[in-house]
Amino acid sequence: MTTKLEALRSEPPSLAREGVAFEGVGRHYSSRRGDTAALEDLDLRIGNDEVVSVVGPSGCGKSTLLELAAGLQEPDSGAVRVAGSGAPAGRLERTAYMPQRDGLLPWRSALDNAALALECGGVGRAQARRRARPLFARLGLERFERALPGELSGGMRQRVAFARTLLAGREVLLLDEPFASLDSITRAGLQEWLAAILAEEPRTVLLVTHDVEEALYLGDRVVVLSARPGRVVAEIAVELRRPRPRRDVVTDPAFSALRQRALEALAW
Ligand SMILES: Nc1ncnc2c1ncn2[C@@H]1O[C@H](COP(=O)(O)OP(=O)(O)OP(=O)(O)O)[C@@H](O)[C@H]1O
Ligand SMILES: [Mg+2]
């Protein structure tokens, strides 16, 4: 007899060219208020060019998971590898991380914040700006190139941070709630746009979101984490053909069934 957990799990894709692997990962934080177990015995593999969405209750360790992949934190137990590299520097140079807080530099213009991703890779500022401009236009930011982050709305700042992440040109994208403070129309448009970019130029993506529909629409697989300490309680393969025109997908009965499975796993 299959258990509920087994029924919710599905096989990850081939790991012949490994993307990201978490093996028995534990991460605890110590502070004046005591010890907090953020993640415990977490196993997760993301295949090359696979898009995996992660959902789970607030505080279950989703941002911690991304920081571990990005090489910004080390696990207390277990191992994290990105394209075969377990060293923090190796993970750092293979990933582009978009943090939940945008981390824009307040003294740099919006365009120069995005261009920074290229400048860090040795591209001159003028050329970096030239390459960042088309992305700005696509993100609806063309009139705000010279604005400072303090002059932008939360949603605009998020789009600038998103541009910076894409421009870094890394093989693995780690996106922490990339569209969280956008209105629903802009958000839906950017989801379609990201899906189109990934179709043209596949990347390995770990996407954290609170939005189950977004998780399903963008993901090849949706991973559901338990409440803190986070562990994987369900892995749901999203076997919907691509391209996925948003309006057709969200009204598809197969999509509704997947949403139901994800919501049940979240309530578990
Ligand atoms: N630097 C830190 N020091 C102490 N505790 C921390 C630290 N960072 C995170 N935590 C704790 O670890 C747990 C997991 O945090 P994390 O930010 O990874 O969760 P999350 O799933 O991303 O939450 P949210 O959905 O609210 O963004 C939380 O209980 C949080 O309070
Ligand atoms: Mg978080």
What domains lie within the chain, and their CATH numbers? Answer: 4-101+172-267 (3.40.50.300)
pLDDT in tens, 75-107: 999 999 999 999 999 999 999 999 988 899 999
Of 183, 228, 233, nearest to 6 (Cα)?
Answer: 233
Is a pLDDT exceeding 60 seen at residue 26? yes
For the CA atoms of 221, 268, 8, 202, the dihedral, rounded to the nearest 10 degrees, stands at: 0
Q: What is the mean pLDDT of residues 166-171?
A: 91
Instruction: Read off the pLDDT band of 67 (50, 70, 90).
Output: very high
- Cα–Cα distances in Å, from 248 out to 186, 208, 242? 18, 23, 11
Helix (H, G, I), strand (E, B) or coil at 113: helix
Percentage of the chain beyond pLDDT 90 is 72
Contact 85 CB / ligand 1 (< 6 Å): no
pTM: 0.91
Contact 73 CB / ligand 1 (< 6 Å): no
Q: Whose CA is nearest to atom 30 of ligand 1?
A: 59
For the CA atoms of 44, 47, 51, 56, the dihedral, rounded to the nearest 10 degrees, stands at: 0
**Sequence-distant (≥ 6) Cβ neighbours of residue 39 within 8 angstroms:** 25, 26, 27, 61, 64, 65, 68, 75, 229, 230, 231
67 C-alpha to center of ligand 2: Å?
10
Helix (H, G, I), strand (E, B) or coil at 23: strand
